[in-house]
Structure 1
Amino acid sequence: MSQPFVPDRMAAMQLIGHGGIEQLVYRDDVPVPRPGADQLLVQVTATAKNNTDRKAREGLYPTRDKADVTSFAIGGETTLTFPRIQGADIVGRIVAIGDDVDTARIGERGLLDFNIYAGTRRDLNLTPDYYGHGADGGFAEYVVVPCDQFHAVDNPDLADAELAAMGMCSYQTAYHMMTAAGVSAGERVLVTGASGGVGTALIQLCRIVGAIPYALSRRDKTDALTALGAEAVFDRTDMNGFTDRIRALTGGRPIDAVMDLVGGDMTHRLIETMTFDMRQRSTYPRLSIAGASAANVSEIMWTVIYLYQVQIFGVSHGTRAEAEQLVEWIRAGTLKPVLHATFRLSELHECERYFMNRGSDYLGKIVVVPDAQWAQHGAPFACVARA
C-alpha cells in the first residue's frame, strides 16, 4: 500500500513550561515528526485526558513541601523537556512507517500502550515513563510511536473517542493495582475515586476477574456506578460510621483489598475496613495506591500496619503483558468505554478548566480530538454541559 500524503507541519498544543493553563500554547506550524526504525507515524484522531497531564504541567510530583515544583523523575532525572506535547492515551491511524515495519500496517487503527519502557521484560516496569512526558504525545495531529506498542483494534462498533476512553493510562494502572495486590475471584474490593477513569476501569476489571467491587464516590453517582458493576456505592461526603456501613453490607466480613486513588486523611479509614475482624479473613489485607487526589501525605499508625500485616502496593504504570491482556478484552468487547465528553484540541484550555471544576454529572473520561478530525470523531460526543 502506498503511504498517504503527510504534511510537513501540523497543529499541536505545546506545553512550554511548568505552571497554569497559560503554559499550553496552541500552534499550527509544528514540524510533523518522522518515524525511525521500528516506529510508526500515527495520524491522531482522539486522545484521552488524564490527571497526570495536569500534575506534570503544574509540577506536582512528589514532595512534602507543597511549595515545591518538581517533575516526574523515577529514572533519576526528569525526561520532561519543553516544549512538550502531552497526551498519553492515543488513538489514530498509521499513515507512515519506518524501516523494518510491514507496509500492510498502513491504514491500521489502533490504541497506544502509553509506556516508555526502559527494557524488554513483559512482566516488569520499574522506571516508568510515558508518551506525553518523556516523548511527545497525542495532543497533536500526528505522533511517532513504537510499532510493537500500537495495538490494532478494528471493532466497527467502537468509535475512536470511545477507544481512547479505554486508554492504557487508566486501564493499565487499574489492572496493575489489582495484579499487584493479587485480587482474585470472590474477593471484596473497595474502590475509591470510583467515578474517574481509573475508578470506572477498576469496577469493570473486578467483575471480569470475578471480584466484587464496592465504590466510594458521591451519592448522585450511585445509579451510574451500579449499572457499571459496583455492588454498592458509599457516599464519600459522609464518612461517619463508614466501617459499620461496610460491615452491614458485607455480612460482617471485612474488605479483602482496597484500591485507593485518594490518599490523605482517608487512608486509616480504608485500612479499618480490611482489619475490623481478622478472624473473618483468609488472606492478608492489601492496599494498592495509585493516586493522592485528596492529599499527598497520610498519617497512619505503623503498629496497625505490622500487627495486622497490611500489605501496601504502590502502583504507577503497568507492564507489557498487562497491556496486551487489556487489548484482548477490548477487542472481545469485554471492556466497555466510559466516555464523558469530547473537546477540540484548540479548546484544551477550556477542557482543563472543565476537568478541574467538573460537576456531579461527571463519570468516565474526557477525550481531546484534533480540530481537523472533529466532525467525524469529536462532534458526536461533544460536551454539552461545560463549567
Structure 2
Amino acid sequence: MEQERIPQTMAAMLLTGHGGLDQLVYREDVRTPEPGPGKVLVQVSATAKNNTDRKAREGLYPVKDRDDVASFQMGGEATLTFPRIQGADVAGRIVAVGEGVDAGRIGQRGLLDFNLYPDDRRDINLAPDYFGHGADGGFADYVAVPSDQFHPVANPEIRDAELAALGMCSYQTAYHMLTAAGVGPGERILVTGASGGVGTALIQLCRIIGAIPYAFSTADKAEPLKALGAEAVIDRRQSDDLVAHIRDLTGGAPIDAVMDLVGGEMTDRFIDTMIFDMKRRGSYPRLSIAGAGAGNVSEILWTRIYLYQVQIFGVSHGTREEAGQLVDWIREGQLKPVLHGAFPLSKLHVAERYFVERGSGYLGKIVIVPDGQWAKHGAPFSLEGEA
C-alpha cells in the first residue's frame, strides 16, 4: 500500500499546564509529527481515557510531600513538559513509516503499547513513563510511535473504539498486578474498583489464568461484572463487615491476594480479608497496589504487615513481555472490550467531567475519537446526549 498524503497540520487537544480543564486547549493547527527512524505514523481512530490523564493534569503524583504538585517522574526527573498531547491507549492505522520500517506495514490497524521504556529489557520496567506524559499521545489526529510497540490487531469483530478500550494502560497494569503477586490457578482474588478499566481487566485476566475473582463494587453493577467473570460482587456501600461477607462467599476461606485500586482507609480492611484464618492459607497474603481512588494515604500498623507476613507490591506499568502476551490474548479473542461509550476529541472537557462524575451504570472505558473520525468510529458509541 502506498504512503498516504499526510496533512502538515492536525487537530489536537493540548495540555498547557497543571491545573483544571481550562488547561486543555483544542487547536486545529498543530504540526503533524513525522515518523523518525524505527517509528510509524498512526492516524488515530480512538484513544481510551484513563485516570492518569486527570492525575497528570492536576499534578497528583507526589512521592515525598503529599501536597506536592508533581508529575510522574520515576526516571529521576519530570518528563511532562508543556504543551503536551495526552492519551495513552491509542488505536488506529499506520499511514507512514520512518527509516528502517517495512513500508508493507502501511494500512495496518493496531494497538499501542503505551510505555516509554527506559531500555530494551523485556522482563522488567524500572523507570516507567508513557505516551501522553513523557511524549505526545493520542488525543490528536496523528501520533508517531516506535514500530515495535504498535501491535497489529486485525480482528474484524473488534471495532476501533472497542480496540482502544482494550488499551495497555489498564490491561498491562492489571496483568502486572497479578504477575507481581504471583497469582496462580485456584487462588481467591479480591478486585477493588472493579467497574473501572483496570478492575474489569483484572476480572477477565483472573479467569484466563485460572484464578477466582471477587469484585468489590456496587450492587447495580453486579450482573455485568458477573457476566464478565466475577465469582461474586461485594457491595462497597454495604461492606461494614467485609470479613463476614468474604467468609460467606468463600465458605470460610480467606482471600489469597488483593488487587487494590482504592487505597485510603480501605487498605487496612482489605488486609483483614486475607489474615483472619492464617492456618487455612496455602501461601503468604499478597497486596498489589496500583491506585488510590479513595485516598493517597493509608494508616496501617506495620506489626500487622510483618507478623502476618503480608507481601506488598507496588505496580505502575508492566513489561514488554506482558504487553506481547496481552496482544496474543486479544487476537485469540480471550480478552473482551468493556466499552462504556465515546466522546469526540473537541468535547474532551465534557468527557473529563463525565468521567469524574460517573455514577450508577458506569462500567469499563470511555474513548475519545478525533472529530474527523467521529462518524465512523465514535458515533455508534456516543455519550454526548448523556453528558
- TM-score, normalized by length of structure 2? 0.99
Match of 1:214, SS? strand
The amino acid across from 1:47 in the alignment is T
Q: Match of 2:147?
A: 147
Q: Which residue of 2 aligns with 1:235?
A: 235
Deviation string 1:98-120 (CA, Å, 9 cap, x unpaired) is 00100110000000000000011
- Tell me if 1:134 matches 2:165: no
Unaligned runs of at least 5 residues, structure 2: none
For residues 282-307 of structure 1, the C-alpha deviation after alignment (integer angstroms, 9 at most, x for no partner) is 10000000000000000111111101
2:118 maps to what in 1?
A: 118
Q: CA deviation at 1:241?
A: 1.3
Deviation of the 1:70 alpha carbon: 1.1
- Structure 1 distance, partners of 2:328, 2:373, is 27
Match of 1:19 in 2: 19
TM-score, normalised on structure 1?
Answer: 0.99
Aligned-partner Cα distance in 1 for 2:249–2:317: 32
Deviation at 1:64, TM superposition (A): 6.6
Matches of residues 160-199 of structure 1 in structure 2 within 5 Å? 160-199=160-199
Code of the residue aligned with 2:30 in structure 1: it is V
CA contact 1:64–1:296 (8 Å) conserved in 2: no
Partners in 2 of 1:301 and 1:66 — Cα distance? 20
Matched residue of 1:175: which SS? helix
TM-superposed CA distance for 1:239, in Å, is 2.1
Q: Is the 8 A contact 1:39 1:145 kept in 2?
A: yes
**Structure 1 residue 71, shift from structure 2 partner:** 1.1
Q: Are the equivalent residues in 2 in contact too, given 1:64–1:297 (CA < 8 A)?
A: no
Gaps (5+ residues) in structure 1?
A: none
Distance 1:180 1:139 in 2: 31
Amino acid in structure 2 at the alignment position of 1:79 = T
Whether the 8 Å CA contact 1:41–1:142 is kept in 2: the answer is yes
Structure 2 residue matching 1:55: 3-state secondary structure: helix
Give the CA deviation at 1:384.
5.6
Partner of 2:286: 286
1:353 aligns with 2:343: no
Distance of 1:245 and 1:282 partners within structure 2: 21
Superposition deviation, residue 68 in structure 1 = 2.6
Contact 2:15-2:23 at 8 Å conserved across structures: yes
Give the share of equivalent positions with the same residue, in percent: 72
Cα separation, 2, equivalents of 1:208 and 1:106:
33
Give me the whole-angstrom Cα distance separating, in 1, the residues matched to 2:270 and 2:66.
Answer: 24
CA–CA distance in structure 1, aligned partners of residues 28 and 326 of structure 2: 34
Q: Secondary structure at the match of 1:355?
A: helix
The separation in 1 between residues aligned to 2:169 and 2:108, in whole angstroms, is 21
The amino acid that maps onto 2:368 is: V
The superposition leaves residues 58-114 of structure 1 with CA deviations (integer Å, 9 ceiling, x where unpaired) of 000025755431111111111000000000000000000000100110000000000
Q: Paired residues, what number?
A: 387
Superposition deviation, residue 249 in structure 1:
1.0
The whole-number CA distance in structure 2 between the counterparts of 1:250 and 1:198 is: 23
How big is the alpha-carbon RMSD for the aligned residues of Structure 1 and Structure 2?
0.9
Deviates more, 1:282-291 or 1:376-385: 376-385
> 1:201 corresponds to which residue?
201
Q: How does 1:328-347 map to 2 (within 5 A)?
A: 328-347=328-347
2-structure distance, mates of 1:68, 1:62 = 5
| SS of match in other structure, 1:124 | coil
Aligned to 2:75: 75
Q: Distance in 2 between matches of 1:194 and 1:239?
A: 15
Describe the SS at the equivalent of 2:244: helix
